Amino acid sequence: MRARRDLSSIVLVLLITSAIAFAQSKRARAEEHFKQAAQYMRQGSHQAAIAQLDSAIAMEPKLAQAYSSRGTARRELGHYPEAVLDYTRAIELEPGYADGYYNRGTAYFLMKDYQQAINDYTKGIGLDQQNPDAYNTRGLFYFNYGNDEQAIADFNKALELDPDLASAYFNRANAHYSMDNFQPAIDDFTRTLAINKRQPLAYYKRGLAYDMLNQPQKAMDDMITASSDVKEAQEWLDKHEPPKTPKAPAKTAKPPAKKKAKK
């Protein structure tokens, strides 16, 4: 009788061990599909990435990262509602997953649902309060939603966390410009260019601010710098640059008249 019980125990252990090994094998295969999808994403092959992520999810339905990555692939293809569903599932599986909220917020933003985008970023920031990019992005959402003051508050926080975040200076400059605060806008565009001079839009926008403050030469200089990359800058120059007066052709001296020979 005891031998039979021992045999049952051994069989049970073997079954459990086999089940664990099978589950680990499925997890490993799901992660391989996930890695392959990441490679496709880097190559811009989003449809192929989705196929790999479908396989990963079929093998491991609770792999939150797979739902999130599939949401991003769908978002890149412009399938925003489907992306929202995937991000929502990722959040359900991992409620503390801040990137899930950020990703879903970005999808809502692309759908022009600015309030929902703000709500998601606010939830993400609540889980991840030291992320300057999150404040900078939420500031952009506020700016697009027409709340310039709240946008500036977020840009301020982003720059407090990362004083070298050029995009936050640029975004704050745009918010100041929108509020007709032209000198603070100029200051922020200048800070942007101090970090990265290769930003033709910053020259163009600063030129507009100089123009609003009646500083035509500085406006002209910025527009000239931006004109090779920003067509609006060239259009501004066409309207404001004084027309060049064509030079009169130089008068050629007449050759001296030949003296008539005396007879």
DSSP annotation of 262: P
pLDDT tens digits, one per residue of 186-234 = 999 999 999 999 999 999 999 999 999 999 999 999 999 999 999 999 9
Number of residues written out for the chain: 263
Share the mean pLDDT of the chain: 88
C-alpha dist (Å) from residue 102 to 88, 92, 178: 11, 14, 26
Maximum distance among all Cα pairs of the chain, rounded to whole angstroms: 159
147 Rama class: left (phi>0) / alpha (psi -120 to 50) / beta: beta
Q: Domain residues of the chain, as ranges?
A: 24-129
pLDDT tens digits, one per residue of 130-167 = 999 999 999 999 999 999 999 999 999 999 999 999 99
pLDDT tens digits, one per residue of 34-50 = 889 999 999 999 999 99
250 Rama class: left (phi>0) / alpha (psi -120 to 50) / beta: beta
Instruction: Please spell the DSSP secondary structure of 5-17, one letter per residue.
Output: HHHHHHHHHHHHH
Tokens found for residue 227: 């004109």
pLDDT of residue 250: 54
pLDDT of residue 246: 55
Does pLDDT of 127 surpass 80? yes
pTM: 0.79
CATH of 24-129, one of 1.25.40.10, 3.40.50.150, 1.10.645.10, 3.40.50.620: 1.25.40.10
